[in-house]
Amino acid sequence: MQRPEGLPHPSARSLRGLDWFVFCLADVQTGFGPFVAVYLTAQKWTQIDIGLIMTVSGLVALAGQMPGGALVDAARSERFVAALAIIAISMSALAYAAWPVFGIVIAAAVLHAAASCVLGPAIAAISLGLVGHFAVSERLGRNARFASIGSGLAAAGMGAAGYLISNRAVFLVTVALCVPTLFALSRICDDEIDTERAHGGKPVPHPGEPTATFWELARNRPLVIFAACVALFHLANAAMLPLVASIVTMRSTQWATALVGACIVVPQLVVAALSPSIGRRAQQWGRRPLVLLGFAALPIRGLLFAVAANPYLLVAVQVLDGISAAVFAVMVPLVIADVTRGTGHFNLAQGVVGSGIGIGASLSMVLAGYVSDHLGGPAAFYGLAALAASGFALMLAMMPETRPDSDASPTTTPESCRPPGGPQKFL
């Protein structure tokens, strides 16, 4: 499909800067999560205190989704907001490394969670502001590839640093990685990011009504349907791998760690391989077929986990997780951009959907754990597969196609940032 004339042509410098920003940011974020639990355990923390830190961090991340999106919508420079969030994350990592006492660590966890709520919408907003609606699907696919590769390499590197040096080294590496992350961000030309487009277009009020707010977004039927479907997806998805990890550990502790590691790496490889092509196909085929593909992979995965006993088969099943992850990494921000075009609240809508994702993921482990304890692991997987199938059915029955025909807000690249030799081909 040819790109229409008159659409934005961001410079190669900005596009490659965004590539490496996404890559480095994935490296930085990898320093948190499981490494926090390992580090605090080595510091003689109790599991209750570690669990409290994780719970507080999760609650802040959930509560901050909509405010984070609204902040990006209100900002006049998405790059500046992203830079502040990266600095906050570096301060959080430094606090973990330097002062592993309860008050400092809980403050660091809150700071990291709050900053992370801004970064997701900021990346999507920068991408949309740079390339426009017509090309953003391919751009989001490229983002997903670089994020996946960055996460995989960072996990290996930080694991090696923790093993060869100390657990504290993971957080010092995280602080150091913030420097190339900020440098990559600085390579994105701020003048090439169309702020109006990055926020979803100019708000168009209805007669007698103000421009779009949260309550107007709540009346956006495609957005509400999509948020409900995605929440169901994560309600079914979030508990699957932890449940597999628990079951294989009970069978054999000897190979459980290696198996779980393989189950994490395989989807990352699939995401890196498929994401760019999914971005291209989304513009050619439309959004709906690909979203349905991502949903369809999840109930099949749940059913296979319920009956699979061979460890090699368990790892192979994770290819389906990679397919779903690749689809959703691209399609969630893309569909949100479609259904909020002209509202000026693209990033707030990302927060709304992010809240649904967080609620679904939070409830998933509780639900699956209860069923597993009382009825067994296979029953839990069958239940999760049924939830995934209900999300697929809701999407199939109610979600319309959202692909726009063209980008109606052409923007030219400012002369101050345009490289010599004329417009650059979109990569």
- What pLDDT band is residue 341 in, cutting at 50, 70 and 90? confident
Confidence (pLDDT) at 1: 42
Confidence (pLDDT) at 279: 85
Candidates 326, 320, 295; CA nearest to 394 is 295
User: Out of 56-65, 157-166, 179-188, 406-415, which region has the weakest mean confidence (pLDDT)?
Assistant: 406-415
- Domain 9-199 = CATH 1.20.1250.20: yes
Instruction: Please determine whether the domains at 9-199 and 219-403 fall in the same fold group of CATH.
Output: yes
16 pLDDT more than 90: yes
* % of the chain beyond a pLDDT of 70: 86
**Distance (Å, rounded) from C-alpha 27 to C-alpha 410?**
34
**Distance (Å, rounded) from C-alpha 48 to C-alpha 216?**
42
User: Out of 81-85, 139-143, 311-315, 413-417, which region has the weakest mean confidence (pLDDT)?
Assistant: 413-417
Name the more confident of 353 and 419: 353
Candidates 175, 156, 193; CA nearest to 72 is 193
257 pLDDT more than 70: no
- What pLDDT band is residue 255 in, cutting at 50, 70 and 90? low
225 pLDDT more than 80: yes
Name the more confident of 405 and 3: 405
Structure tokens at 333: 């921000």
CB distance 115 to 62 below 8 Å? no
User: Out of 26-40, 201-215, 265-279, which region has the weakest mean confidence (pLDDT)?
Assistant: 201-215
Name the more confident of 47 and 254: 47
- What letter represents residue 208's amino acid? G
User: Out of 67-81, 222-236, 251-265, 365-379, which region has the weakest mean confidence (pLDDT)?
Assistant: 251-265
Residue whose entry in the numeric block shows the structure tokens 């189950």: 263
Structure tokens at 344: 């000026």
pLDDT tens digits, 144-170: 889 988 887 887 777 777 777 877 888
Confidence (pLDDT) at 422: 42
Confidence (pLDDT) at 412: 39
Mean pLDDT (the chain, rounded): 82
Confidence (pLDDT) at 213: 63
Name the more confident of 415 and 189: 189
Query: Any alpha helices (H) in 308-376, and if so which ranges?
Result: 311-339, 346-375
Cα angle, residue 360 at apex, residues 358 and 365 outer, rounded to 5°: 105
**Distance (Å, rounded) from C-alpha 320 to C-alpha 15?**
30
Confidence (pLDDT) at 367: 85
User: Out of 2-11, 164-173, 373-382, 409-418, which region has the weakest mean confidence (pLDDT)?
Assistant: 409-418
Name the more confident of 42 and 132: 132
Model confidence, pTM: 0.78
**Distance (Å, rounded) from C-alpha 265 to C-alpha 394?**
30
Residue spans of the domains in the chain: they are 9-199, 219-403
CATH architecture entry for 219-403: Up-down Bundle (1.20)
317 pLDDT more than 50: yes
The whole-number average pLDDT for the span 279-288 is 87
Structure tokens at 60: 């802040």
Structure tokens at 79: 């790059």
Structure tokens at 35: 């490494």
